Chain A
Amino acid sequence: MKKLKQWVKTPTFSNVSASIAAIVMGLLFGLIILLVTNPSQALPGFVSILAGGITGGAQGLGDVLYTATPLILTGLSVGFAFKTGLFNIGASGQLVVGAYVAVLLGNLDLGLGGFHWVVAFLAAMVAGAIWAGIVGFLKAYLNVHEVISSIMLNYTGMHLVNLLITQTVYDKLRNQTQPVLQTANIPAMGLDKIFPDSSVNGGFFIAMIIVVIVHIILNKTVFGYELIACGHNPNASQYAGINAKRNVVMAMVIAGALAGAAGGMIYLAGAGKYIRVIDTLHSEGFMGIPIALLGLSNPIGVFFAALFIAYINIGGFYMQLYDFVPEVIEIIIAAIIYFSAFALIVKNIIARYQSKAEEKEKSKAEAAEISAEGGSQS
């Protein structure tokens, strides 16, 4: 209890409450929209959002994990960049570049047997890292704002990949990539037994391992410490002897590798997904932004935020039973990001409350002291 009381006073508490407040407000906004469009079905529809994957039993829960896997990685990508004070809005481009390289290698018979998918997956990470490295380089050495250059590279990457697909692994009939070889698919690692009929695979375990690795890099290494220091105050870190420019590049490279990994994860899942040759950006990349915000850019937080977003997404799928359009979920997520932009206000309210509580405690303690002194005198 005492520990809990102490925790309530930390900034982590006010951050977590800000995230939860944003989620609650976003969900309420969604409820209002449901009530406006179809009052009689609104409540059951809303309940099915909250019930998420549970409605579908084991298959539904498996689909939650499957949907969450790439989201965990793009969330980590955006969050990692946030920690270093960079806004990686380019996860979408990094993701598609990684996805293309994974599919390309997945189509080649490299004679690697069981390691085929490992090579394709790692290559996706390298491709994403290079793509984001351009952003880091431009930021560090030429002072180009990372948001603008990432937006440009999102579209450049999309068109480049479309061009390369039509030259290499093109399925002309369906206007998409050819399926990868069986050996290039990430094995299910037993998850298909727990969640039958769902598309979940071993990628989920890999994502979990990556969460732990990123957590260790950020919190237990000198390199991670330097990155976070640069995020707080680049000038002070430079003064303290940290190579801020190199760190900006490295942070983007790692963020890009994570987004590229997400791309590999989506198209090596063997779930019947192919890169389509259309002029549309991948939404998974943009989903990384709300996930990183809700997860406070903390790897563990990102993990749970991605699960939450995947959970209500699957809930949106089952909500169609009540004649609702699943886009409600995207509206709710957009509302959650919008309200999380208000985090400052929530934090201020909590901070005021915290300092008031502290004062109260202080005066209480003083009063107790005085009365104790009074007691000893008499």
Chain B
Amino acid sequence: MNTLYFLVQQTMFFSIPLLIVALGGMFSERSGVVNIALEGIMLIGAFASIFTINALQDYMSGQGLLLIAILVSMAAGMIFSLLHAYASINMKADQVISGTALNMFAPAFAIFVARTIQGSKDINFLNTFRIESVPLLGDIPVVGPLLFQNCYITTYIGLIILVISTIVLYRTKFGLRLRACGEHPQAADSVGINVYKMRYAGVLISGAFAGLGGLIFVVPTSTAFSADVSGYGFLALAVLIFGQWKPQRILWAAFFFGFMKTVSAAYSGIPGLKELDISSDIYKMIPYIATLVVLAVSSRNSQAPKAEGIPYDPGER
């Protein structure tokens, strides 16, 4: 039973950042802007917020500090994603190229600033954010240890974001307009929707979520940030595609990928898998190969937004 609790708790640490970042990517792509810069935005969000924690941890600790870090990470992600929005919406640049530029810029910038200010690229922080057990809820048998012990508030924030995202995308005027801009921007424009504004909104939401995802990824899994989110932004992109740009499916995809990550990190402690003695690299490969298979099977009738990646040109009907 203890192994099961451990597995579920670990899976949460890996899945929740994937979920949040993939949901961010969903908003951007459904508005019609491809965002492969998720990796870079995650990194900048993590960098800014971990730096904040590092600077403030002598004065405060616990959930209050984490909340400040969350706000910082979202703000940093949004500001950084503005660069992508400006290039791909106003300048009509190739969105993949602009995203690549951001992905290259982020680690170089983070290392440069960290080394210039403090000499080394690693930013240390004290993890004072872990909740041993949520009052009341943590005492429930089975469910308590599974979901409410040894956890972070970010887990619940992630699940709240999922619910809100689903409602916003499918049940609000904003969501409908956003989706229209990703499917047929000319039609959306003809009924008075400002395509540029909607696309800016999509990219900025993705920036905020990806920045937050960066923080949430780093906090439970390490004690120092060294300008690296280990390809999680790209993995989130895979989650987004695996989830076919739909919130619920993204949730399952994130759990599947997170579980695979957990197994690859901890398979030697899992009865049954230990005897099989499969290399951890195999488990690490599975999410990517699974995404490829899903793509190969489903691409003929892909659910991808139709106008994704195409700069909006009002002169074209």
**A91, chain B: closest CB distance, angstroms:** 12
> Which residues 178-203 in B have Cβ within 8 Å of A in the complex?
none
> Which residues 246-289 in A have Cβ within 8 Å of B in the complex?
279-281, 286, 289
Is there contact, CB below 8 Å, between B284 and A334? Answer: no
**B316, chain A: closest CB distance, angstroms:** 15
Q: Which residues of the other chain, A, contact B109 by a CB distance below 8 angstroms?
A: 327, 331
**A22, chain B: closest CB distance, angstroms:** 10
Q: Tell me whether B299 is interfacial, beta carbon within 8 Å.
A: yes
| Residue in chain A with minimal CB distance to B84 | A338
Q: Which residues of the other chain, A, contact B231 by a CB distance below 8 angstroms?
A: 155, 279, 281
Q: Tell me whether B266 is interfacial, beta carbon within 8 Å.
A: no
Is there contact, CB below 8 Å, between A337 and B288? Answer: no
Assembled-state Cα–Cα distance A152/B105 (Å): 21
Is there contact, CB below 8 Å, between A156 and B285? Answer: yes
Known pairs A151-B36, A163-B281, A341-B91; A289 contacts B234 (CB<8 A): no
Among B93, B98, B100, B288, point to the contact of A155 (Cβ < 8 A).
B288
Interface string of B231-249 (1 = CB under 8 A from A): 1001101100100000000
Known pairs A149-B292, A166-B279; A334 contacts B112 (CB<8 A): no
Q: Tell me whether B116 is interfacial, beta carbon within 8 Å.
A: yes
Assembled-state Cα–Cα distance A335/B87 (Å): 12
Among A144, A148, A149, A337, point to the contact of B100 (Cβ < 8 A).
A337
Known pairs A156-B288, A325-B115; A341 contacts B104 (CB<8 A): no
Q: Which residues of the other chain, A, contact B288 by a CB distance below 8 angstroms?
A: 152-153, 155-156, 159
Is there contact, CB below 8 Å, between B97 and A138? Answer: no
Q: Which residues of the other chain, B, contact A286 by a CB distance below 8 angstroms?
A: 100, 103-104
Q: Tell me whether A50 is interfacial, beta carbon within 8 Å.
A: no
Is there contact, CB below 8 Å, between B281 and A162? Answer: yes
Q: Tell me whether B230 is interfacial, beta carbon within 8 Å.
A: yes
Is there contact, CB below 8 Å, between A143 and B237? Answer: no
Q: Tell me whether A225 is interfacial, beta carbon within 8 Å.
A: no
Q: Which residues of the other chain, A, contact B299 by a CB distance below 8 angstroms?
A: 138, 142-145
Is there contact, CB below 8 Å, between A143 and B300? Answer: yes
Q: Which residues of the other chain, A, contact B98 by a CB distance below 8 angstroms?
A: 338, 341
> Which residues 20-37 in B have Cβ within 8 Å of A in the complex?
36
Known pairs A143-B302, A279-B231, A330-B108; A152 contacts B291 (CB<8 A): yes
Q: Which residues of the other chain, A, contact B139 by a CB distance below 8 angstroms?
A: none
**A159, chain B: closest CB distance, angstroms:** 4
Q: Tell me whether B92 is interfacial, beta carbon within 8 Å.
A: yes
Is there contact, CB below 8 Å, between A338 and B241? Answer: no
Q: Tell me whether B295 is interfacial, beta carbon within 8 Å.
A: yes
Known pairs A89-B96, A337-B97, A341-B87; A147 contacts B105 (CB<8 A): no
**A351, chain B: closest CB distance, angstroms:** 15
**A264, chain B: closest CB distance, angstroms:** 22
Q: Which residues of the other chain, B, contact A342 by a CB distance below 8 angstroms?
A: 87, 91, 93
**A134, chain B: closest CB distance, angstroms:** 8
Known pairs A331-B108, A338-B102; A37 contacts B116 (CB<8 A): yes
Known pairs A144-B296, A327-B112; A337 contacts B291 (CB<8 A): no
| Residue in chain B with minimal CB distance to A151 | B234
Q: Tell me whether B43 is interfacial, beta carbon within 8 Å.
A: no
Q: Tell me whether A302 is interfacial, beta carbon within 8 Å.
A: no
Q: Tell me whether B276 is interfacial, beta carbon within 8 Å.
A: no
Chain A contact residue count (CB 8 A cutoff): 47
Q: Which residues of the other chain, A, contact B92 by a CB distance below 8 angstroms?
A: 344
Q: Which residues of the other chain, B, contact A293 by a CB distance below 8 angstroms?
A: 97
Q: Tell me whether A340 is interfacial, beta carbon within 8 Å.
A: yes
Is there contact, CB below 8 Å, between B284 and A159? Answer: yes
**A25, chain B: closest CB distance, angstroms:** 12
Is there contact, CB below 8 Å, between A334 and B282? Answer: no
Assembled-state Cα–Cα distance A342/B302 (Å): 30
Is there contact, CB below 8 Å, between B284 and A279? Answer: yes
**A71, chain B: closest CB distance, angstroms:** 14
Is there contact, CB below 8 Å, between B91 and A344? Answer: yes
Assembled-state Cα–Cα distance A290/B101 (Å): 9
**B42, chain A: closest CB distance, angstroms:** 15
Is there contact, CB below 8 Å, between A341 and B105? Answer: no
Assembled-state Cα–Cα distance A194/B87 (Å): 45
**B305, chain A: closest CB distance, angstroms:** 12
Assembled-state Cα–Cα distance A170/B91 (Å): 48
Assembled-state Cα–Cα distance A280/B227 (Å): 12
Q: Which residues of the other chain, B, contact A344 by a CB distance below 8 angstroms?
A: 91-93
Listed A/B pairs (10) with beta-carbon separation below 8 Å: A33-B112, A142-B299, A144-B296, A151-B234, A156-B292, A160-B285, A330-B107, A337-B101, A338-B98, A344-B93
User: Other than the known A87-B96, A89-B100, what 11 A-B pairs have Cβ atoms closer than 8 Å?
Assistant: A138-B295, A153-B288, A155-B234, A286-B104, A328-B112, A330-B107, A334-B108, A337-B101, A338-B105, A342-B93, A344-B91
4 closest cross-chain pairs (CB), A and B: A330-B108, A341-B93, A334-B105, A338-B101
